[in-house]
Amino acid sequence: MGELAVVLDVAGTLLRMYRVANDLIHGRILEGIVTAQLIIERPGRALVVPQMDPGDIQRCPEDTHLLKLIEMSSEGIEISCYSTPVSHSDVIEAIRCSDATVRDLLIAHNAVRQRCPETYHTTGLIVDAVDMTVPYIVSTGGVPFPGVRSVLDELRDMGADIYIASGDSARSLIHMVDYGIDPKNIYSVADPMRKREIVKRLKENHRAVVMVGDGLNDIYALEEADLGVLTIQQNPDPHPRLLEVADVMIRDIRQLPAAVKTYIL
C-alpha cells in the first residue's frame, strides 16, 4: 500500500485559465466565464468535448455543421460534466438540431488564441438536451501558475504518487507528461462523479489521498478525499458549497506542500 496520493485538477488549479464563450443565442463573446456556472444554469446541460486535434478543426471548412465534424472523428465526443445526467444519444440529437457550425467553434477558439498564442488550448460545446440546442461554445487557454513544477517535485520528495483528474481531453492533457507525471496516472474527461470514484479507488491502496481542485466539478472528489484542498488562485470568490466541503483553502498552489505536511504527514 502506498503512503500518499495527491490528485490534481488542471484548469484553474495548475493552470491559470483564460476562458471565453461564444453565446450562440445572443451572438456575442463572453469573456472570463466560469464554464460550470453556464452548465448549472439549467437542467439537462452538459459540456461536450470533441476528441479532435485543434489543427484538424482549423483546417475544416467553416460552414461544416458540428455534427458532421464530430462524425469525421474516429474518437467522437466525451461528456465532461453536466448539470443533470445527459445521455450520449441526447447530446448527439441536440447537436443535430442546432445550427452550430465550425465557424462558431473557431470564433471562440481564435478569441483565446489571441490572448494565449503558445499555450494549452481546449474547446468544447455546452449542449442543452432539454431545449435541444447548443447555447454556447467554450474555449480555454492556460499557462502554468508560478512554481507548479517545483510543487510537484516537492510532493514527490514527500513520497506522494501524483495523479491528474481533469474534465479535459487526453489530447489536451498530454503536456502534463512534461511535468514528470506518469501517463497511466492521467485521467482525462473525468466528470464530477468519476473524479470521486478515482479518489475512492486510490483510498483503497493509499494510506491517505489528497484532492486539489478549484471548481464545482471537483466538489465530490474534495468531499471524498482524506484531505480536500480548495485553491482559489484562479477564482478568489468560490462557490459557497466548495467552502463547505473543502478541509483547507489555499490562495497559491505553492502553499500545497505545506498544507499536505500540516494535515496529512
Query: Over 80: is that where the pLDDT of 223 sits?
Result: yes
- Model confidence at 77, pLDDT cuts 50, 70, 90, reads confident
Beta bridge partners, 160, equal 4
Domains of the chain: 2-15+144-263 (3.40.50.1000), 17-142 (no CATH)
234: Cα within 13 Å, side-chain hemisphere: 24
pTM exceeds 0.85 for this model:
no
pLDDT > 80? residue 260: yes
Beta bridge partners of 146: none
Contacts of 39 (CB under 8 A, 6+ apart): 45, 46, 47, 81, 82, 83, 126
Q: How far apart are CA 39 and CA 136, in angstroms?
A: 10
Average pLDDT of the chain, as a whole number: 91
Work out the pLDDT band at 249, boundaries 50, 70, 90.
Answer: very high
Does residue 172 carry a pLDDT above 90?
Answer: no
Please say if the pLDDT value at position 118 is more than 80.
no
Q: 250 phi and psi, to 5 degrees? A: -125, 150
Beta strands 133-144 and 15-23 are antiparallel
